[in-house]
Structure formats: C-alpha cells, structure tokens
Chains A and B, each alone.
Chain A
Amino acid sequence: MSEWQPKILAILCNWCSYAGADLAGVSRMQYPPNIRVVRVPCSGRVDPLFIMKSLQSGFDGVLVSGCHPGDCHYISGNYVARRKFAVLKPLLEFIGIEPNRVQFSWISAGEGERFATVVTKITEDVRKLGPSTRLVKKL
C-alpha cells in the first residue's frame, strides 16, 4: 500500500492568492501536490462553515489565503475576513482541533515563491499530524 498523503483544501482569493498560485505554476516552482484549490472572489467570501465542512468531509488540512491587508480588490474584504479567522482559529484550538490543521496566509499575485513555501509548509505540518480524525464524519 502506498504511503498516506495529506489531502489539503486551499481556498484562494481570485485576485491575489490564486494569481500567486498561477505564478508559481508558470514559474515552474516545485511544491507538494497535496492541495486541492477552490477559488473564491475574496477571502471575505470564506464563511467559517466552509472550513468546518472541509474538516468534516475528511480533508486533513485547510489553507485559506487572501490578499495582503490593504491590497484587497474590494477594499476591506480581507480585513473583515481577518476578524472571522482571528476568532475561528483560537476556537478550533480550544475545542481540541490540532493547531496546524487550519492555517491562514496572505499571498499576493507577485508572490509565486511565497505560495510554494506556504504550501510546502502546511503540507509538512499536516503530514506530521497524520490523518485527520477528530471532526471527520463517518457514514
């Protein structure tokens, strides 16, 4: 049997982080193939429910990435998102979800290299944690 590979959902904003991923790709940067990308208009679109549902449906990790503060295409979407994540992350840790399972980053359209680094880091973090079990719904 092949070795277990972490499955990570990456929720990326259309204007910065998704373009950052694109740049990493066209620049032929190497990063682990463990992410599945969902493109959203803005990190402000990310309802914490999406993150919870991802964990529930069996993703081993979730990465949410948007524009750097001040760079939001919609002026303040990522500021509002930041407040949501600032509460969600400590709450998840509080109930006993491993801290590194859910991570957040800011990646601009020009930061292809940063994208590769972030994906590498979260993949390694989640690999260390092993398969997610805590919130996974079993049928």
Chain B
Amino acid sequence: MNVVNDLRKTIKKLLAEKKIDLFVGWEKGSLPMAATPIFITNEDEADRIVFDITCGNNLSVYFTKDKKQFADKKVGIAVKGCDARSVVLNILEKQIDRANVVMVGVPCHGVLDKKKVLAKTDGREVLELIDGGDTVTLKGNGYELSSDRSEILSSSCLSCIYPDAQEYDIFVGEPRGEVPNENRLKEIKEFEAMSTSEKWASTRAEYEKCIRCYACRNVCPSCYCNVCFVDQNDPAWIGNTCDFTDSMVFHIIRNLHVAGRCVECGACERACPMDINLLLLNRKVAMEVKDRFGDVAGLDINGKPAMVDFREDEKQDFIMG
C-alpha cells in the first residue's frame, strides 16, 4: 500500500508544482479484474490512483493514439518496466519529446491474465479480488479461493527480466532489479522442438480464432501508423473476410513491424477477446533480435531501434551458400 500512497503523493506534488499538466495512471475499474486508465489534471483526483496486479494496460499507448490528445502538454506517466521501455521507444522514434514527459517508475510484481484467473475459478465469475502480494484472493458467488500470484500472472510477466523502469525521473518504492529468468525461453524452445507440420497445426489452431477486431494492434504502443497496412484499401493488401491466411499474414506482418520495437508487455495478448497466444511469436522475434543484433527494445535511451540499424559483419547464416 505504501507504493500507492507514495505514488499519489508524488502525483500531487508534480501537479502542485506545475511540473506536469496531466498524469496518466490507473484507477480501480468497474470489474474486479481490471484497473482502468485515468487522466488526472487535478490534485484531488490523485487519490483515485491505484497500482496492483490488475494494472495491465501499457499506458504509453496514449502518447501515440489520437495524437492531439497530449499535444503540447507536459505529461506524467506511471510506468512498469515494460511501459517504460515503450515510452523510451516512442522517444527514440520521435513520437514523444523526453522533456515533455515525467516518467514515474513503479515496482512491478506482474499483472494478471483474466483467462488464467477464470481457469482457477472454473469459469465462475470473480466478484472480488484482493492482491495480497504472493497470494491473491478470489471471491465470487459461493466460493472463495486463494491463488499463488505466479499462477495467474500474464505470460509476459513470467518471462520478464526488467520489471523496473530502466529510464525514469522518479521511482516510487523499491526497485526489484533485474530478474534472472532461466525458464524465459522454455516455451519457445519447446515449440521449436516440434516438427514443421506440428508447428503449423498449432499455429493454425491458434490464429484461426482471430476475429480481426484489432484489439491487439490498438492497445500496442508500438503500433501507431497513421494508416495501418490492413486499413489500406487502395491497394488492399489484406482481405477482411476472416480468411485464416489473411489473418495469419496480418499477424506475421504486425510481428515484423514491431520487431525490435516490441517490449513484450503482453498488452496484446491480454486484450485479445479470443485468447490467442499472441505473445509467443513476438517473443520469438525478440529472441532473434537479441541473438542476432544484441538489441533489446526500449532499454537504451541513447540507442537506435534494431530494424533501422545494421552492422556490416552480421551473421548471415540464412543466405544461400
């Protein structure tokens, strides 16, 4: 709770001293499993701010969405490790002016994945959720159970190495430091061990679910093209008829568009109404980017996004002999 109190105090101070015009954070949502973004301009509202396991949104998406919203404003923003990397990336890509943003780091212990919670409760509705740190209590009609935090965390959090903001102006609470994560790539390695046809069957089963609502794209802070390639209709690159191959091409190209720019925050996967395991491909791409180019998206504010950079002596094992 101290973190939340400190966060509120920090926001009040920033607003009172006119260091910012606006603060973007999370408040308690209308559902027990979802906090919701809030935009604060008034000190009194700061007491609505929360920070717990339900704060899954990557708020830096609001910098690039409907660009007029934050134009010419000094914006304070609460950032988890992944969110901070998104902000850094947006700064590198000249979408945000570093001087106009005050990054307030919060120590993140992971955010929940609704579908994992519902698996815990056998699909029964959750009416109350209490974030007790290592254990989380879930209450509903006629039941109460507690779960290990790790069992309901988003897959992005289970593979997270940088829970703290690496770039920040103010850090509230104790930073957790880098988390050594040996099992980080386990899921990817297991997938890679399958045969080509098994991989394809698995991919197909997953992506056939897509209904093309574009929630994944729209919650992604790295997806901010004025006109997305799927929305171009002259020429129309991608059909819109829920054809599986069209959906697959959309997802592959989206993955490549965010290659070296995806911070693996998992917002896409949590937003997906069809529960597609979206992050697996993003993480595979991030793994390749790190192995080949030594780059991790949004870590270095003086760096350059991997896909607009190159070295002459790079590994080119995939080129025909």
A residues in contact (CB < 8 Å) with B: 48-49, 52-53, 56, 69-70, 76, 79-80, 82-99, 103-106, 118, 121-122, 134-137
Contacts and interface: CB of A to CB of B under 8 A. Distances in A.
B252 A91 contact: yes
Given A104-B320, A106-B319, A87 B199 contact: no
Contact of A69 (B256, B306, B308, B312): B312
Interface in B231-247: 237, 239, 243, 245-246
Contacts of B289: 87
Given A82-B314, A91-B255, A91-B281, A121 B248 contact: no
Contacts of B293: 83
A53 B192 contact: no
Contact of B310 (A79, A92, A93, A122): A79
B192 A94 contact: yes
B197 interface: yes
A76 B314 CA distance: 13
B14 interface: no
B242 to A, nearest CB: 12
Interface string B173-184: 000000000000
A88 B308 CA distance: 15
Contacts of B229: 49
Contact of B243 (A97, A104, A106, A137): A137
A103 B248 contact: no
Say whether chain A's binding surface is mostly helix, strand, loop, or mixed: helix
A85 B319 CA distance: 9
Question: Interface centre among A84, A91, A98, by most B CB within 10 Å?
Answer: A91
Contact of A56 (B198, B245, B259): B245
Contact of B256 (A84, A98, A106): A84
B200 A134 contact: yes
B143 interface: no
Question: Interface centre among A69, A87, A88, A136, by most B CB within 10 Å?
Answer: A87
Contacts of B248: 95, 135
B253 interface: yes
B149 interface: no
Given A48-B253, A52-B249, A56-B246, 20 more contacts: A49-B229, A49-B249, A52-B252, A56-B249, A69-B312, A83-B306, A84-B256, A86-B318, A87-B260, A91-B255, A94-B199, A95-B252, A96-B199, A104-B319, A105-B320, A118-B320, A122-B320, A135-B245, A135-B249, A136-B245
A118 B239 CA distance: 33
A115 B305 CA distance: 34
A71 to B, nearest CB: 12
B227 interface: no
Contacts of A87: 256, 259-260, 285, 288-289, 292, 307
A121 B320 CA distance: 9
B316 interface: yes
6 contacts: A52-B249, A86-B314, A88-B256, A92-B252, A96-B197, A105-B320
A95 B203 contact: yes
A70 B311 CA distance: 11
Nearest first, the 8 closest Cβ-Cβ pairs linking A and B are A96-B200, A96-B199, A79-B310, A105-B320, A137-B245, A95-B203, A52-B249, A89-B318
A36 B202 CA distance: 32
A47 B176 CA distance: 40
B197 A79 contact: no
A91 B318 CA distance: 12
Nearest to A63: B320
Nearest to A114: B320
B79 to A, nearest CB: 27
Contacts of B237: 49, 53
